[in-house]
Structure 1
Amino acid sequence: MALRTPIQVLPPEVAERIAAGEVVERPASVVKELIENSLDAGASAVSVEIRDGGLSLVRVSDDGCGISRADLPLALERFATSKIHTLEDLEAVHTLGFRGEALSSIAAVAHLETLTRTQGELEGSRLRVEGGRVVVEPAASPVGTSVTVRRLFYNTPARRKFLKSPMREGELVRQTVVRYSLAYPAVAFRLVVNGRETYVAPPATPLERVGAALGREVAAEMVPIGWEAADLRIEGYVSRPTLGRRDRKGQFFFINGRPVRSGLLAVMLERPYAGRLPPDRRPLAVVHIRIDPRLVDVNVHPRKVEVRLSQERSVYGALTRAVEETLSPYPRREEAYPALMWPFAEVEAGVVREERAEYVAARLESMGQLNNAYIVARGPEGLVVVDQHAAHEQVLFERLLGGGGTAQPVSPPVRVELTPREAERLEPFLALLADLGTEVEPFGRSTFLIRTLPAPVASSDPRELLEAVLGELPGCRRLEPEAA
């Protein structure tokens, strides 16, 4: 458990150096700030509860060191923190939080209540804000802290207009919890949405936590990476070239335990996959970068999601080398297609174009394949390049829609494990799928049993079928989940 340090108001010269900005944009921002407080307090278990996407309720509880009754009133003071005290501390931040403005920012736009107790206190304390007045009173509490936030943006209705639907806001909260659970696998995480437990991750090894967060099937396809030199250490897991996704949502980067966004890190991660993974697919990764805090500037972005590295080339190069070394057993596909090469500079402008076309297969003459990802064919309008994976998914989807509701039993039922995010996207469409002859039954938090399939797709791979559904069904105008 972390040692409790008294909360102090930062001197002006330190406060002025902290990047200004609003830290509370949406419910996920509240959850992020409170989770960081819990982790900085040395918590071994963090519980998050939300209702209505976090608009009516957000509660984050932990078993950390707690806040003493004497310090509790200071917790709502802006630039009051126990984490840094001098300019030297700001130049080598060892904690997730350091601004001392999270609770004060939240209290300004919501009803906030804090219940807490330290190890050395016989009874806990409750902090409430009533009519602009801070009230601290004795209360029963276990060791740790529980912060309850109600009616977010109740006093700024204009802010609510910029929020998404409760379902989307809840998904952003879930992504935040998953992100921090991947950063801290030794800490237990729990998420409760509208009274239903949707994510549980007990203390685990890093790979086990990948399985809890992204699915056991994904974890089975991950391989470890490692690199160490001087003040830099890189470790984590990346996907084999047999596994990829359309986007980068399966990539997670952490610098000194802090989740960060970095397009450059993603590019350097993906570079060794060239020739190993189809160009339209992205690898999955959970990468932990440990570096001397003095070489990292976390005081760049108000929400602390971006950092500046003083030796960024060394970090980027090390990441590429670590991934390349891990992928060395998987040969690159160095294929040449001389018959398909010609000087594009001589091609008339407008001849080459990209579009999503409804081609009839019988009208296309196949000429070959590029990089196991594209089919090159000759059609009535000229040369056509078809994205093989996307075309396959669309064919599966169209066959499913054309099944006419004629269901064939799958015996025994096929069990398919999705990520929690995929499971949430699929659930609104289960009734529609059943009408089409595909009975998909929930079998746990993110596991499903496929019991029936329409005749046209009965021989299809179940995981591929659900991937096609997830890729095509939410955007299909012919079907809407509300019609179920």
Structure 2
Amino acid sequence: MSQLEILTRIKDDVEGTRVQVADGKANTEVAGAPIGTQVIVRHLFYNAPARRKFLKAPLRETELIQKQIMLYALAFPQIAFRLIVDGRESLVAPAASPLERIGAIWGREVAGEMLEVNYTSIDLSVRGFISRPTLVRASREWQNFFVNGRPIRSGLLAVMLERPYLGRVPPNRHPLAVIKIDVDPQLVDVNVHPRKSEVRFYQERAIYGTVSQAVEAALRDFPVTYQPGTTNWPFANVPVGEGAPAPMVREESADYRAANWRAVAQVHNTYILAQSAEGMVIVDQHAAQEQLFYELLTTTGSNQNSVISIQIQVTAREAELLNDHLDLYHSVGIDIEPFGENTFRINALPAFVNLEPREFITTLLQEHERYRQLEGDALRDKLAARAACISAIKAGDALDSDRQQTLLNELAQAYSPATCPHGRPVFVTLRLEELERRFLRR
């Protein structure tokens, strides 16, 4: 399937050996070589055009290779890795400690937020690093599991990893992790997936439970701060004396400004119920503000920025995406510039952004990676839509009457208020005639 060359020499030998394989024939000869082993693969699928046709675009194949190299670099920090793409160094990771290797792959800032996990029993060990609850991502892409040095995918391991984080991180956020599980090879079946990326454990419950216990031990100093399933109670600060009658609580009258729609109530902290001249309107609060932010980002001269100055570190692939599209990021109000190898300085962000700047940029880079095949306005629209989505009011956020009315007034001025950037409806209307028919008044 390829033309293979192996050049190898052990430390105590004076000369090395070169093995060349092509068309199923092997040729071995003595050769000068440095200590170690080099494996060179050329002309992949040169004799199998049907297989070669199914290769993806060169850029995509390069990304997959880079991800695989980074995966093995995390698995074997004692081994140096160097990836060269088109004559340019894409990744350099010298032999280092496990935490130093995380810093080389994910950045020093990420490495500084990692906690060590270390559990050992008679026939099982769980080692590695997990992120503090203050460092989370929107996806599980940054979670890596290794069994006896083999990288694997396991949804159940991810669940057991995240269980101790419950109540310590916001909903729908996922920690970063490099977890290495060493177990007796006889207790692992690696032949359950064609790519060997999934395994089956003989003692599944013991291993999954151990992972969860090891992570819980590493997080013991971090208190539970979130209560899943709860909402903000708007009268939580109303004083009530013990044994005394509860005070009368009244909602302040709203000073509504002139607008086509008048906010009446918030339903399930998700929808705004409004009265219109024709009847009533139900507005999705998240979709409404998402569309407003999207129009700010995509309308020239409409976006105001908040000035900051923060340095962030990104992966080599993310740095490449940023360097190639700096003007595009500037067009959506993100003033960012290179500041060293895989390091960037954020000078300004859209004023409405309420996320921590590093998390905001990381989330946009994940969206950029997802739509890497797009360019120009198409890519800008995807990034603007994502930036608007993560910055907008969420379902479950309680809004007072003033904020409800302000949102309706702003929506009335929007260029395209009917749908959000993802195509979902922003509001639905119920005409007065329809209400009267339903109540048999007509």
TM-score, normalised to structure 2's length? 0.66
Q: What is the identity, as a one-letter code, of the residue corresponding to 2:362?
A: E
Query: How large is the RMSD of aligned CA atoms in angstroms?
Result: 3.8
Q: What is the identity, as a one-letter code, of the residue corresponding to 2:301?
A: G
Q: Equivalent residue of 1:404, what SS? A: coil
2:215 maps to 1:320 = no
- 8 Å contact kept, 1:404–1:436: no
For residues 33-432 of structure 1, the aligned pairs below 5 Å read 109-129=1-21, 132-328=24-220, 329-334=222-227, 336-337=230-231, 367=266, 376-379=270-273, 382=282, 384=284, 386=286, 399-402=296-299, 404=301, 414-432=310-328
Q: Equivalent residue of 1:479, what SS? A: helix
Q: What is the identity, as a one-letter code, of the residue corresponding to 2:202?
A: S
Instruction: Give 1:337 shift.
Output: 4.8
Q: What is the identity, as a one-letter code, of the residue corresponding to 1:142?
A: P
Instruction: Give 1:273 shift.
Output: 1.9
Q: What is the identity, as a one-letter code, of the residue corresponding to 2:329?
A: L
Instruction: Give 1:315 shift.
Output: 0.5
Instruction: Report the CA distance shift for 1:300/1:459 in structure 2 as closer, same or farther (over 3 A).
Output: closer
- 8 Å contact kept, 1:116–1:144: yes
Q: What is the identity, as a one-letter code, of the residue corresponding to 1:183?
A: A
Question: Who is 1:433 aligned against?
Answer: 329
2:361 maps to 1:466 = yes
Instruction: Give 1:179 shift.
Output: 1.1
Q: What is the identity, as a one-letter code, of the residue corresponding to 2:377?
A: L
Instruction: Give 1:166 shift.
Output: 1.4
Instruction: Report the CA distance shift for 1:417/1:159 in structure 2 as closer, same or farther (over 3 A).
Output: same
- 8 Å contact kept, 2:9–2:15: yes
Instruction: Report the CA distance shift for 1:120/1:337 in structure 2 as closer, same or farther (over 3 A).
Output: closer
Q: Which deviations, in whole Å up to 9, do the C-alpha atoms of 1:210-245 show, x marking residues without a partner?
A: 121112222222222232332111122112222221
Q: Which has the larger Rg? A: 2
Distance in 2, matches of 1:138 and 1:254, equals 37
Q: What is the identity, as a one-letter code, of the residue corresponding to 2:361?
A: L
Give ranges in structure 1 of 5+ residues lacking alignment.
1-108, 341-361, 370-374
Question: Who is 1:19 aligned against?
Answer: none
Instruction: Give 1:150 shift.
Output: 1.1
Distance in 2, matches of 1:127 and 1:240, equals 47
Once the two structures are overlaid, the 10-residue window that deviates more, 441-450 or 188-197, is 441-450
- 8 Å contact kept, 1:429–1:481: no
Name the count of aligned residue pairs: 344
Distance in 1, matches of 2:95 and 2:301, equals 47
Instruction: Report the CA distance shift for 1:364/1:418 in structure 2 as closer, same or farther (over 3 A).
Output: farther
Question: Who is 2:340 aligned against?
Answer: 444
Distance in 2, matches of 1:289 and 1:222, equals 18
Give ranges in structure 2 of 5+ residues lacking alignment.
235-260, 275-280, 381-442
Question: Who is 1:88 aligned against?
Answer: none
TM-score, normalised to structure 1's length? 0.61
Instruction: Report the CA distance shift for 1:197/1:477 in structure 2 as closer, same or farther (over 3 A).
Output: closer
- 8 Å contact kept, 2:297–2:303: no
Q: Equivalent residue of 1:200, what SS? A: strand
Q: Which deviations, in whole Å up to 9, do the C-alpha atoms of 1:393-430 show, x marking residues without a partner?
A: x876654444539998968x532212334323333322
Distance in 2, matches of 1:440 and 1:138, equals 53
Instruction: Report the CA distance shift for 1:387/1:220 in structure 2 as closer, same or farther (over 3 A).
Output: farther
